[in-house]
Amino acid sequence: MAFLHVSPAERRNWTRSLVLVHLFCFVTQNKS
């Protein structure tokens, strides 16, 4: 798993990005 080898800061950025994507999908699904 390459994900485990990234630095904590990069992992935090990736986590925030994933959360934003999930929130965006959640909101768009609720609108339709």
Whether 14 contacts 6, CB under 8 Å = yes
Whether 11 contacts 3, CB under 8 Å = yes
Q: Which amino acid is at 32?
A: S
pLDDT for 3: 59
pLDDT for 13: 93
pLDDT for 26: 94
Residue 16 has pLDDT above 70, yes or no: yes
Residue 4 has pLDDT above 80, yes or no: no
